[in-house]
Copies of this chain bind each other. A is one copy, B any other.
Amino acid sequence: MILIDNHSRVPIYQQVKEQIIMLINTGVYKPNDQLSSIRNLSKELDINVNTIKRAFAELESDGVVYSVQGKGVFVSENPLGNENIAMSALKDVATAVTSAKAMGVTKEQVKNLVDNIYEAGESDD
C-alpha cells in the first residue's frame, strides 16, 4: 500500500510519513486501527528498520499515531487534529516559493503549478 521512490530527493522516512498520513486522509486507516508492524513494513518495503522507526517516531510526536509497548502502533483518535503537520509542510512550501520568486519565477507560474498538482488528485477525493 506504500510506494517508495528510491530516486527521489525526498528522504525515505518522509515518504513513509506522508503516505501513512495519506492513508489516514483517505479513510483506509481509521482511529485506533493498528498499523503494520515496524518489522513487517521494513521487510515489505525493503527499507532499513531505523528508517521506519524514525517515520513512526515523528508521526507519534505529531500526534498522528500512538504506540503501545508490546502491542503495536495505532492511529490516534483525532489523527489530523495537530496543526503542526500542515504547518511544517506549509513552511517548506514558503521556503521553496520564496526561492523561486528570487530566481525570477512569476506568481502565475507558481499558481499554475499549484493548480496542476491539486487537480491531479481530484478523482481521488
Contacts and interface: CB of A to CB of B under 8 A. Distances in A.
Interface in A5-25: 6-7, 9-11, 14, 18-19, 21-22, 25
A76 to B, nearest CB: 9
A19 B104 CA distance: 11
Contacts of A18: 99, 102-103
Interface residues of A, number: 48
Interface in A79-125: 80, 85-86, 88-90, 92-105, 107, 109-111, 113-115, 117-118, 121
Interface of A: 6-7, 9-11, 14, 18-19, 21-22, 25, 58, 61, 66, 68-69, 71, 74, 80, 85-86, 88-90, 92-105, 107, 109-111, 113-115, 117-118, 121
